[in-house]
């Protein structure tokens, strides 16, 4: 078993404080995916155009979201961190969305121990432009792929607050427990 394979199966934590495995650093145009079977970090693709990740992006280990994968998380923090970094986080909200017609929501979080975010406790505490930026990124990141314009790939369904995010995290934790049994 490789070092990174252990990351995929780390304890998730709780709805109040959960681990996030960062796959993609803030500002990157490279989309990486951590493979659960091999533990390798693969370059999935390079984003086309001027799109870049507006925050550190990763997943909560030992969870199962509505798309069958671990729960996706965008982590706003003071600095970019390298792939395979474990960041203890807390939820601010959730961006409910569809990816090619399937539910694929994103938890919006901040690190537990980043003093820059001490006063940010819920999604409405973030500048409204952060949510607009995130929405625009996810709606547009896949529109132009491999030289082809793709229409209506991602659709934002709404943004939920901290309580909604925590409810979904609890469901993702439960889904994983049921899946393992």
Q: The domain that contains 12 carries what CATH number?
A: 3.90.80.10
Would you give the distance in Å from CA 20 to the centre of its chain? Answer: 8
**pLDDT value for 35:** 87
pLDDT one-digit tens code per residue, 13-53:
999 999 999 999 999 999 999 988 888 899 998 988 788 99
First-to-last alpha carbon distance for the chain, in angstroms, is 22
Residue 179 domain-assigned? no
- Six token digits for residue 77: 């923090």
Closest CA to 30 of 71, 80, 76, 86: 80
pTM for the full model? 0.90
Residue 41 domain-assigned? yes
C-alpha span between 104 and 139 (Å, rounded): 12
Residue 123 domain-assigned? yes
**pLDDT value for 102:** 77
**pLDDT value for 144:** 60
**pLDDT value for 1:** 44
C-alpha span between 95 and 55 (Å, rounded): 14
- For the chain, the domain total comes to 1
Work out the average pLDDT over 153-163.
Answer: 89
Residue 30 domain-assigned? yes
Q: How confident is the model at residue 5 (pLDDT cuts 50, 70, 90)?
A: low
Residue 180 domain-assigned? no
DSSP lists the bridge partners of residue 48 as none
pLDDT one-digit tens code per residue, 59-116:
999 999 988 899 999 999 999 999 999 999 999 999 999 877 778 899 999 999 999 9
**pLDDT value for 176:** 81
C-alpha span between 70 and 144 (Å, rounded): 25
Residue 110 domain-assigned? yes
- Domain housing 134: 3-171
* Beta-sheet strands, E only, within 10-153: 18-24, 30-34, 41-46, 56-60, 71-75, 86-99, 102-103, 106-111, 144-145, 148-149
Burial class (CB in 10 A: 0-12, 13-18, 19+), 147: exposed
- CA 139 vs CA 102, 135, 154: distances in Å: 14, 6, 5
């Amino acid at each position: 078993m490789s070092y990174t394979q252990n990351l995929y199966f780390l304890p998730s934590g709780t709805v109040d404080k959960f681990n996030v495995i960062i796959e993609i650093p803030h500002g990157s145009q490279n989309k990486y995916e951590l493979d659960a079977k091999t533990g390798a970090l693969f370059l999935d693709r390079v984003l086309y155009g001027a799109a870049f990740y507006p925050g550190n992006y990763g997943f909560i280990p030992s969870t199962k979201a509505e798309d069958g994968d671990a729960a996706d998380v965008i982590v706003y923090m003071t600095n970019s961190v390298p792939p395979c970094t474990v960041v203890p986080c807390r939820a601010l909200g959730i961006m409910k969305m569809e990816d090619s017609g399937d539910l694929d929501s994103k938890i919006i979080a901040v690190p537990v121990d980043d003093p820059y975010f001490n006063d940010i406790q819920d999604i409405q505490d973030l500048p409204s432009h952060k949510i607009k930026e995130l929405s625009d990124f996810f709606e547009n990141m896949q529109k132009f792929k491999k030289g082809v314009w793709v229409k209506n790939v991602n659709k934002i369904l709404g943004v939920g607050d901290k309580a909604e995010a925590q409810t979904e995290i609890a469901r993702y934790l439960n889904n994983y427990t049921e899946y393992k049994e």
